[in-house]
Amino acid sequence: MTESATLPPFLDDPDLDAPDRATAQAGSPLFAELVWAHHRYERSRRKGGPDVDEMERAYEDKLREFQEKVGDLEHVYWSTKGASAVGMTVKHEERTSREWSLPRIVEHDEVVQLHRLSDWVTTDAPLVADLLHECDLLAIRVGEVLRGTPERIAMRWLLGVQAHLLGFIERTRKLPADPAEKAIVKTQRAQLVAIERYYHRAACKTGRLVYVTGMLIGVLPVLLLGIAVGTLLWLAGLWGTEAELVVLCLGAGTLGALVSAISRMGKPEKGKFNIDFELGRPILRRLGFFKPLVGAIVGVALLFLLASGIAHVAVDEESKLYYYGFAAFLAGFSERFVNVMFGESERRLIPPKAGKAAEEDEE
């Protein structure tokens, strides 16, 4: 989250030589107050002022308030030149009594955030300020898509880049020379490119896992549908070989869709299992949820196609169960196979001459 933060009233101290304009910040609005409290405390401590203890208590109170509302401040870099800093917080989810009593199977998410307040020291370093902003934008993408260890690695890496950029300003006592600023921005931009590559690799794998999770959830309604169809046919006295084939092809098509998606979850390649991981977890789960249902419908549709005789396929009674079952599995597994079978059947149902005549009549 990027927003504007003005000076907190109780920190508006003219002795701090702070600019009387707003500053851009990234992260929680409370981070601005924490940075100013820390800056006042450090300034008083270095000067040996009589209000050191008061400033320290004010800083500790702000730190406690910040961590209670935002999360634990695990890593932070404080600037000594001005009231600026970059930090990373991690907020752990609290487990309920019921969760403690049950085995923890599902990993709970942690809220990892980057926070930055740096415009006080980057006024004369526009290239550094722009690169810090690019880090903020990448941190937003990382926080929305990644979870667990990959998220922590990417966020900690981004924090290292931002801290190094602020450290460059700290090491340069005078205004940053243009060549030196361009050099540090060039090296850290290369790091930012490496972080983005890592993010893409991790996000691609994460998106696929979320998609497969949705598919596994989608198997349940298909299973219930198969049980319901079989029960209705049995109650109606229609249970027999043909009904068995319908239920069999429904399940085989579902399994084919699952195996197809899982088997193509290797290295991202053109024409393989590729998804847009930045669509968001809920949308990816919904897309995966409907995949088994589509496989089941296609499997049953192919059974009707083959049994109708349109495809001119002769099947022995002894091998009928295995033939239709594998055909339904293949229909759920391969979209190309389904397109070929259904396309050929469409041409047989509607000959090319009849199709052209119908188009001419409509004209």
DSSP string spanning 54-96? HHHHHHHHHHHHHHHHT-EEEEEEE-SSSS-EEEEEEEPPPPP
Exposure class string for 233-243: b at 16+ Cβ within 10 A, else e: beeeeeeeeeb
pLDDT-based confidence at residue 174 (cuts at 50, 70, 90) = low
Q: What is the mean pLDDT of residues 104-115?
A: 70
Least confident of 106-110, 120-124, 337-341: 106-110
pLDDT at 260 over 90: no
Q: What is the mean pLDDT of residues 103-111?
A: 58
Q: What's the pLDDT tens digit per position in 118-130?
A: 877 777 788 888 9
d(CA 311, CA 266): 35
d(CA 306, CA 325): 12
This prediction has a pTM of 0.72
